Chains A and B, each alone.
Chain A
Amino acid sequence: MLTKRIIPCLDVKDGRTVKGVNFVNLRDAGDAVELGALYAAQGADELVYLDITATVDGRSTFIDLVRRVAQTINIPFTVGGGISSIADVSALLHAGADKVSINSAAVRHPDLINELSLEFGSQCIVVAIDTRYIETANGHEHIVHTHGGRKATEIRSIPWAKEVEDRGAGEILLTSMDTDGTKAGFALELTATISGNANIPVIASGGAGSVEHFYDVFTAGKADAGLAASIFHFREIDIPDLKEYLKNKDLPIRMTR
């Protein structure tokens, strides 16, 4: 049976993970390759590496990192952050990334989704949607945000999710800026609406604080995968324990131990 995926996300700046990481058994917790390999060994189903570097030098460092990750780990990984052209995607895929995630560039230039999926295949094009529930002329609506969730667009998130699928996205990475960082649980209703409408997988992100939250997002939230960062980095949830819990709740989970 197709399993629900658990995906740790690593923010990377100048080739190193930026969020404080509390793994005593790592020689260098800032080493993004070593941390990814540890997650893979613990049973993570995929990894996401987000480049939050803004400089050109940082960019080439990131590509070098992608290459080292691909050489080291034997599970799929997605890379994102600042991707805005076919050339960017080509460089990352050739370095060994399995998928790329685009966000702001897709909002600015939606045709990019079509171009990338034609050039590289839908299966490797993930569109990240950062969404926030805000007051609009029509009352309150889920609105797409860019710039790490700081800048509102005019785009409504639910139809946008359908549009990115129609344009050839292979997967949606849905981050609720309302729940992100709260550890109060994923945005279940919105995730369920978008995943229920979609014929492509939806990765839910933002708000994970407990193992129950993952259970909720895979059931009520209808998500295909759950992504989190700090709760894994700070070992508030260990991936083997999380997967054991979900398995015992009769969800389809890939067990590796």
Chain B
Amino acid sequence: MKTVIIKYNAGNVQSVMYALDRIGASYLYTDDEAEIRSADKVIFPGVGEASTTMNYLRHVGLDKVIPSLKQPVFGTCVGMQLMCRFSEENHTECMGIFDVDVKRFPADAGLKVPHMGWNNISNYQSPLTAGLPDNAYVYFVHSYAAPVCEYTVASCDYALPFSAMLHKDNFYAAQFHCEISGNAGQQILENFLKL
């Protein structure tokens, strides 16, 4: 099986690679369109700011490549947000795979932003959550989130309910960091690779 991690100007994705190493999966880290298209599984990780990242994806044409992929694609963190329609982070038009807008957590809810740490997810409706205990804890670091919508397959609560995971056709996404989310995160990665 060929797994590709999409290479772009994201921040550090080293932990994603180590997480795949731990479950014994081999992968290619590349931005080459032919390599991406020929992969069995594609991981689109994300660490960074939405508009800079989206501009880069446009510059190299990945903004067209990613939505046209037919194999299972898994976006995480900012990767998930860029798969949505729009992000309030610097008013960024995103790839629009999921027709939902990413919004900043309200400042007036009396909660700290970013939402940082371990929180539980629930209402699973995804093959990626198979085998997870109810209310599994996963690790989040983010200031923007997609509200619960028709593509939500796991939700989380911080100030208000939001989408912890999204799914539409061959596109899967998680707002949290699977790679450092303990055994739960590892299970989700394994489930994705088994699709």
Q: Any chain A CB within 8 A of the CB of B123?
A: no
Residues of B within 8 A of A75 (CB): 139, 180-182
B12 A123 Cβ-Cβ under 8 A = no
Smallest CB separation, B193 vs chain A (Å): 15
Residue total for A at the interface (Cβ-Cβ under 8 A): 32
Residues of B within 8 A of A98 (CB): 15, 180
Q: Any chain B CB within 8 A of the CB of A121?
A: yes
Interface positions of B from 141 to 173, Cβ below 8 Å from A: 141, 157-158
Q: Any chain A CB within 8 A of the CB of B86?
A: no
Question: Chain A 87-131, CB within 8 Å of chain B: the 1/0 string?
Answer: 000000111101000000000000000000000111110000000
A224 B112 Cβ-Cβ under 8 A = yes
Q: Any chain A CB within 8 A of the CB of B125?
A: no
A71 with B117: in contact, given A94-B14, A123-B141 (CB under 8 Å)? no
A1 with B114: in contact, given A70-B18, A95-B14 (CB under 8 Å)? no
B120 A200 Cβ-Cβ under 8 A = no
Interface positions of A from 169 to 222, Cβ below 8 Å from B: 170-171, 198-201
B114 A170 Cβ-Cβ under 8 A = yes
Question: Chain B 77-119, CB within 8 Å of chain A: the 1/0 string?
Answer: 0000000000000000000000000000000000111111111
Residues of B within 8 A of A71 (CB): 18, 21-22
Contact residues of A: prevailing secondary structure: loop
Q: Any chain A CB within 8 A of the CB of B61?
A: no
**Complexed CA–CA distance, A2 and B145 (Å):** 15
A74 B118 Cβ-Cβ under 8 A = no
Interface residues on B, range: 20 to 34
Closest to A71 in B: B18
Residues of A within 8 A of B186 (CB): 74
Total of A-B residue pairs, C-beta within 8 Å: 89
Residues of A within 8 A of B115 (CB): 2
A199 B112 Cβ-Cβ under 8 A = yes
B180 A74 Cβ-Cβ under 8 A = yes
Closest to A93 in B: B12
Residues of A within 8 A of B112 (CB): 198-201, 224
Residues of B within 8 A of A3 (CB): 117-119, 137
A96 B14 Cβ-Cβ under 8 A = yes
Residues of A within 8 A of B158 (CB): 2
A2 B15 Cβ-Cβ under 8 A = no
Give the one of A120, A121, A198 with max B CB within 10 A: A121
**Complexed CA–CA distance, A77 and B186 (Å):** 16
**Complexed CA–CA distance, A76 and B180 (Å):** 5
Interface positions of A from 53 to 82, Cβ below 8 Å from B: 70-72, 74-76
Q: Any chain A CB within 8 A of the CB of B127?
A: no
**Complexed CA–CA distance, A94 and B18 (Å):** 11
**Complexed CA–CA distance, A122 and B158 (Å):** 20
Closest to B185 in A: A74
**Complexed CA–CA distance, A76 and B182 (Å):** 9
Tell which of A45, A120, A170, A171 touches B118, judged by Cβ atoms closer than 8 Å: A45
Residues of B within 8 A of A200 (CB): 112, 114, 116
A74 B182 Cβ-Cβ under 8 A = yes
Could you list 16 A-B pairs, sorted by A, with CB under 8 Å?
A1-B119, A2-B115, A2-B117, A3-B117, A3-B119, A74-B179, A74-B181, A74-B185, A95-B14, A120-B12, A121-B47, A124-B11, A200-B112, A201-B112, A224-B112, A256-B137
Additional 9 contacts, C-beta under 8 A, given A1-B120, A170-B116: A1-B157, A2-B111, A40-B182, A70-B15, A76-B139, A95-B14, A123-B141, A124-B12, A170-B114
